[in-house]
Amino acid sequence: MSEIYKDPSCSPQQRTKDLLSRMTIEEKIGQMCQIDGHLDPEMWIRERNIGSFLHVIDDEAVRLQKIASEETRLGIPLIFGIDAIHGHAFYSGATVFPSQLGMSSSWNPDLIEEIGRITAKEVSLTGLHWTFSPVLCLARDARWGRVDETFGEDPYLSGVLGSAIVKGYQGTDISDPYSIIACAKHFVAYGETQGGRDSSECDVSARKLKTIFLPPFKAVSDAGCLSFMMAYHSIDGTPCSANEWLIKDILKKEWGFDGIVITDWDNAGNLYRRQKVSPTLKDGCKTSVLAGNDMIMSTPEFYENACELVREGVIKEELIDEACGRILLMKFRLGLFDHKRYPQTGNARMSIGCEDHKKASYESALESIVLLKNQNNTLPLTDNIKKIAVIGPNADDVQALLGDWSFGPRRHPERPTLEYNSNYDITSITTILEGIKKRAGCDIEVLYEKGCDTIDPDIQNINKAVETANKADAVIAVVGDTIVLNGEFRDRANLDLTGSQQKLLEALKSTGKPLTAVLLNGKPLTVPWIKENVDAILEAWNPGMEGGNAVASILFGDFNPCAKLSISFPVAVGQQPVFYNQYPGWHTDKYIDMPVEPLFSFGFGLSYTTFEYSNLSLSKTKLTQTDTLTVSVDVKNTGNLKGTEIVQAYVNDMCSSVTTPIKELKAFGRITLDPGETKTVNLEIPVSSLALIDRNLMSVVEPGEFEIMVGSSSMDKDLLKTIFEVFIEK
């Protein structure tokens, strides 16, 4: 019989069918396994025909790929996966971009697509094919440890930016050796778990899932995302990885998703071990397959158990064929059987961390830093400033720039392989202090004092910091949080500044010097004192390897900031949730001891210039359900500097069969204007995007009036408003 699966002229589907017909049940189950590549990988390849490893890289990936492709019975190549979620950040020398939360503040899909493209190139050059990104969980409770990994709180923005990065990762053709598989995770509503506690129970209704949490995932599925990762938590009692409705009915049937569904780390085992919905580990393995997972991450026991379950007739071979078939199809689509995609050496490898990629990282940092306050035009720093004091624990800290999922201290109590990589080359990373020094040159003196630690209140030298501040014309205080306060297992009950940072700021304020706070943090912090008391605030998130240069450019006015928040800041932790798209309440929606407005609202962000909105107009005021509305608004640059504005359009369904959010982002655009210049911005909103999920869980656009609100942030005071009507065509 001719070996169709080896014939590149046959379609991936024909080749998959042929290969499946030659495989034993054990070989098929082996393909469904993904294991940490440090656990006896050769045994897994030679004896179990494993399908995939995670967290191996470079020479080791080549070695293992050679064994799988050249020394096994059928020569099925491996897929290698890695968490390259803001650049290939575990790889020394690679380009590290701002955290996903940081990049989302750019509201710039083109930029984010480019980040995806560059990451794909660097990942593929080290022999890997799959990144576990993007995260499409919504960050609606800042206590949650993984806020920094998200695109913020809004379903629409997350869907648009998620689709952009997927396009970048996967390119136009997944068989291109520089394209890698994207993975939408964590499916679904993982950020919504109780009290922001990572992977606890999440109680959302099917209607809310369909209204708020599924849409960003649907968007990336429509954009062609080739893999989905299930979440850890359970929804209304059912762990996501055991949720057949979610995986089979919604994802695979309703959305027509034909890629791979992978569990998260040991989901299968934890159905038994922690979530206790399975009486045995074997039952957990069975449930995972029946629910529709195709690949099982890091449950090594899955192999033996699944083999037994098929032999006993508990799992039908067709189910294994379906899962294994999807994995093989992916390998054919990737071209793995034909050109193996071995990492390239020589010149091509020079692209990793090259100047062009670093420039893209710099540009994305510039666009992700949000100017939150600028009293009396404190920024940009003027020519009169000859001495700058840079103070604070994050001023000269590499890890605070790079953030989570990059090299760093052991971040996962159960995952020794992600430990601190002491060989990581940090020389190409520019801290804030270094960036300011470089930009200041010889004419401006830069003084530095750390002042205190981010965590330990006893490690401080505030007097020395004040002495240094007193010698300067302007003070830049670089504070925030640190890696050990973010990530899995790292939820916070308190979002105030830690250590002695608050004391440090108060002492700096007492010097009377112009005080700018640069915040380097993974998530919104509760900093009302800062808002009230410092002169200027830059929210820099974890801005990546070029963060220091980007912050310096903004401080000195080489770049005019244009980023907008993709997440709201609470005034205090108890004010949460403060996301903007709240449902209309009955009793005023507020606490008696807390303002109703967040500290900083979704969509907010200042510029060194000012913009004025006028002439809101609509292409039509009466539309049918199949129409597209064009919203136009004039934006004028009323300041003295060229600047870019992100124009936002929100909609409210004014009366509907179910309650709907008071406003929902439906479109946005950007415009760059010279001083005095006015331009019209047109935004398109298909009426179909105004659908709600009704009481029968059906998606419908209900006829009636809608309010459209256009402006510079989600705050009412920043929005022009008008009404249009949707009617049913007879």
Q: How many Cβ atoms are within 10 Å of 422's Cβ, its own excluded?
A: 6
C-beta nearest to ligand BGC: residue:
132
**Catalytic (active site) residue 653:** no
Tokens of 409: 């201290």
Looking at the chain, the number of H-run helices and the number of E-run strands are 22, 26
Exposure of 130 in the CB half-sphere (CA atoms within 13 A): 30
Contacts (Cβ under 8 Å, ≥6 apart) of 583:
659, 660, 661, 662
**Least Å distance between CB 107 and ligand BGC?**
24
Closer residue to ligand BGC, CB minimum distance, 134 or 325: 134
Closer residue to ligand BGC, CB minimum distance, 264 or 645: 264
**Least Å distance between CB 141 and ligand BGC?**
17
Separation between Cα atoms, residue 127 and residue 132, nearest integer Å: 15
Is residue 496 within 8 A of residue 455, CB to CB? The reply is: no
Separation between Cα atoms, residue 674 and residue 611, nearest integer Å: 11
Separation between Cα atoms, residue 524 and residue 602, nearest integer Å: 11
Separation between Cα atoms, residue 627 and residue 695, nearest integer Å: 25
Closer residue to ligand BGC, CB minimum distance, 192 or 264: 264
- Binding residues for ligand BGC restricted to 54-73, rule: CB under 6 A: 54
Tokens of 684: 């398109």
Closer residue to ligand BGC, CB minimum distance, 103 or 444: 103
Closer residue to ligand BGC, CB minimum distance, 288 or 454: 288
Contacts (Cβ under 8 Å, ≥6 apart) of 696:
none
- Binding residues for ligand BGC restricted to 319-378, rule: CB under 6 A: none
The torsion angles phi and psi of 256, rounded to 5 degrees, stand at 65, 30
Tell me: does residue 265 bind ligand BGC (CB under 6 A): yes
Tell me: does residue 535 bind ligand BGC (CB under 6 A): no
**Least Å distance between CB 118 and ligand BGC?**
20
β-pair partners for 664 = 651
Closer residue to ligand BGC, CB minimum distance, 17 or 412: 412
Tokens of 384: 């009169």
β-pair partners for 474 = 388
Binding ligand BGC (rule: CB under 6 A), the pick from 5, 80, 132, 257 is: 132
Tokens of 189: 């509503």
The torsion angles phi and psi of 33, rounded to 5 degrees, stand at -95, 140
**Least Å distance between CB 418 and ligand BGC?**
8
**Least Å distance between CB 219 and ligand BGC?**
19
Peptide bond into 188 cis (omega under 30): yes
Binding ligand BGC (rule: CB under 6 A), the pick from 264, 404, 546, 653 is: 264
β-pair partners for 476 = 390, 516
**Least Å distance between CB 7 and ligand BGC?**
35
Tell me: does residue 148 bind ligand BGC (CB under 6 A): no
Closer residue to ligand BGC, CB minimum distance, 270 or 652: 270
Is residue 115 within 8 A of residue 374, CB to CB? The reply is: no
**Least Å distance between CB 232 and ligand BGC?**
6
Separation between Cα atoms, residue 212 and residue 215, nearest integer Å: 6
Closer residue to ligand BGC, CB minimum distance, 28 or 185: 185
In three-state secondary structure terms, 348 is: helix
Tokens of 214: 């599924």
Which of 264, 397, 481, 653 is labelled catalytic?
A: 264
Binding ligand BGC (rule: CB under 6 A), the pick from 148, 192, 488, 664 is: 488
The torsion angles phi and psi of 529, rounded to 5 degrees, stand at -60, -45
Under rule CB under 6 A, how many of the chain's residues touch ligand BGC? 7
**Least Å distance between CB 494 and ligand BGC?**
24
Closer residue to ligand BGC, CB minimum distance, 132 or 650: 132
Token look-up 């690679």 returns 94
Is residue 714 within 8 A of residue 668, CB to CB? The reply is: no
Tokens of 108: 């710039």
Q: Are strands 628-637 and 622-623 parallel, antiparallel or unpaired?
A: unpaired
- What distance lies between CA 206 and its chain's CA centroid? 24
Separation between Cα atoms, residue 32 and residue 305, nearest integer Å: 12
**Least Å distance between CB 298 and ligand BGC?**
8
Binding ligand BGC (rule: CB under 6 A), the pick from 121, 185, 282, 492 is: 185
Peptide bond into 186 cis (omega under 30): yes
Closer residue to ligand BGC, CB minimum distance, 483 or 709: 483
Separation between Cα atoms, residue 619 and residue 542, nearest integer Å: 41
**Least Å distance between CB 211 and ligand BGC?**
24
Binding ligand BGC (rule: CB under 6 A), the pick from 83, 113, 481, 535 is: 83
Task: State the residues that interact with ligand BGC by CB under 6 A.
Answer: 54, 83, 132, 185, 264-265, 488
By annotation, the residues acting in catalysis are 264
